[in-house]
């Protein structure tokens, strides 16, 4: 069992949890992920590691409540325990040797972009961060990102906070103003990572994206997380989750992501129905 030692509500649908997992905390690196399972009937869900504290023996995860499992996790509190928590999985991000990086987070992706920005900053790189959200209410980790960035740009789709528009527009402006980056990291929804990769390809800037496909074991055993990179099948769990954004087949990844949409909706509806039943009883 793995204990939740801290819980924080970052925005109405995004929560942070610090989980006691000393073995994972000892080895975790930015870019790696964990898989958790809440209970005996639960599914295995991968989440990228948002932070870790080797001394406290804890790993921080940040998640958006989108389906049954993430809603259930979000309903747990400090002191509660979850059944399984395994990691660190995947290959750590290679962040050494860069001088000037743009780190781009889209929505929840900001939570995963944060440890990367932090690590680049610690390694002495100049970091410009661009984080985008749908609206002001959904902005997360502004303070944290600011602390590890030389410049922080925030966008919202509706203009309720920061600059109105998309992260790609800010990146394009910066590039057109003559900013030079030797690395762009883009983490967020597939469509956003695709848009950033298309843009940076034109400018010839190396771009790393973090893929988070459907997976079960996370050890290369099921092949469910396969991604086409440069025309070849790669497994996100053991070959990634970081890949060269210019070589990823995003359209295929977007399609594969939707494979269980119907079942996801069904599970969520039944869960919420049960919850309402309990509340009404």
**Adjacent-strand bridge partners of 210:** 242
The DSSP secondary structure of 178-244, one letter per residue, reads: T---SEEEEES-HHHHHHHHHHHHHHT--EEEE-----SSSSSSS-TTEEEETTEEEEHHHH-SEEE
Is there a contact between 253 and 190 (Cβ–Cβ < 8 Å)?
yes
Task: Looking at residues 232 to 251 of the shown chain, list those that interact with another protein (rule: CB under 8 A).
Answer: 233, 238
> Under the criterion CB under 8 A, does residue 226 sit at the interface with another protein?
yes
Of 18-26, 105-113, 131-139, 184-192, the segment contacting another protein by CB under 8 A is 18-26
> Under the criterion CB under 8 A, does residue 157 sit at the interface with another protein?
no
Instruction: Tell which residue, 47, 119, 54, 41, has the closest CA to residue 87.
Output: 47
Sign of torsion over alpha carbons 83, 91, 59, 226: negative
> Under the criterion CB under 8 A, does residue 53 sit at the interface with another protein?
no
> Under the criterion CB under 8 A, does residue 218 sit at the interface with another protein?
yes
Q: Are strands 58-64 and 51-53 parallel, antiparallel or unpaired?
A: antiparallel
Q: In which residue are the tokens 């079942």 written?
A: 263
Task: Looking at residues 62 to 81 of the shown chain, list those that interact with another protein (rule: CB under 8 A).
Answer: 68-69
Using CB under 8 A, which of 3, 42, 161, 165 touches another protein?
42
> Under the criterion CB under 8 A, does residue 221 sit at the interface with another protein?
yes
Using CB under 8 A, which of 75, 135, 151, 219 touches another protein?
219
Shortest gap between Cβ of 80 and another protein (angstroms)? 18
Instruction: Name the maximum alpha-carbon separation found in the chain.
Output: 63
* CA dihedral angle for residue 48, residue 53, residue 54, residue 58, rounded to 10 degrees: -70
- The number of residues that bind another protein (CB under 8 A) is 42
> Under the criterion CB under 8 A, does residue 23 sit at the interface with another protein?
yes
Using CB under 8 A, which of 85, 114, 153, 243 touches another protein?
85
Measured in residues, the chain has a length of 281
Of 85-93, 99-107, 115-123, 153-161, the segment contacting another protein by CB under 8 A is 85-93
> Under the criterion CB under 8 A, does residue 122 sit at the interface with another protein?
no
Residue 159 φ then ψ, to 5°? 75, 10
Residue numbers at the binding site for another protein (CB under 8 A):
23-24, 26-27, 37, 41-44, 68-69, 83-89, 216-224, 226, 228, 233, 238, 252, 255-256, 258-260, 263-264, 266-267, 270
């Amino acid at each position: 069992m793995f204990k939740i030692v801290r819980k924080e509500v970052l925005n109405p649908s995004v929560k942070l949890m610090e989980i006691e997992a000393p073995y994972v905390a000892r080895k975790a690196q930015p870019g790696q992920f964990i898989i958790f399972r809440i209970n005996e009937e639960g599914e295995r869900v991968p989440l990228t590691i948002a932070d870790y504290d080797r001394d406290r023996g804890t790993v921080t995860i940040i998640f958006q409540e989108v389906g049954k499992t993430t809603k259930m996790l979000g309903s747990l509190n400090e002191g509660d325990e979850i059944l399984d928590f395994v990691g660190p999985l995947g290959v750590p991000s290679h962040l050494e040797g860069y001088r000037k990086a743009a780190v781009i987070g889209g929505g929840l992706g900001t939570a995963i972009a944060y440890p990367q920005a932090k690590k680049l900053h610690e390694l002495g790189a100049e970091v410009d961060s661009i984080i985008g959200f749908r609206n002001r209410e959904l902005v997360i980790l502004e303070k944290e990102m600011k602390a590890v960035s030389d410049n922080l740009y925030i966008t919202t789709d509706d203009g309720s906070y920061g600059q109105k528009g998309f992260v790609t527009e800010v990146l394009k402006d910066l590039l057109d103003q003559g900013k030079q980056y030797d690395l762009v990291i883009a983490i967020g929804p597939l469509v956003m990572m695709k848009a950033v990769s298309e843009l940076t390809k034109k400018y010839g800037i190396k771009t790393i994206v973090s893929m988070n496909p459907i997976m079960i074991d996370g050890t290369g055993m099921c092949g469910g997380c396969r991604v086409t990179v440069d025309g070849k099948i790669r497994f996100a769990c053991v070959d990634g989750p970081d890949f060269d954004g210019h070589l990823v087949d995003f359209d295929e990844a977007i399609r594969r992501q939707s494979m269980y949409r119907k079942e996801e909706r069904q599970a969520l509806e039944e869960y919420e129905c049960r919850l309402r039943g309990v509340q009404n009883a």
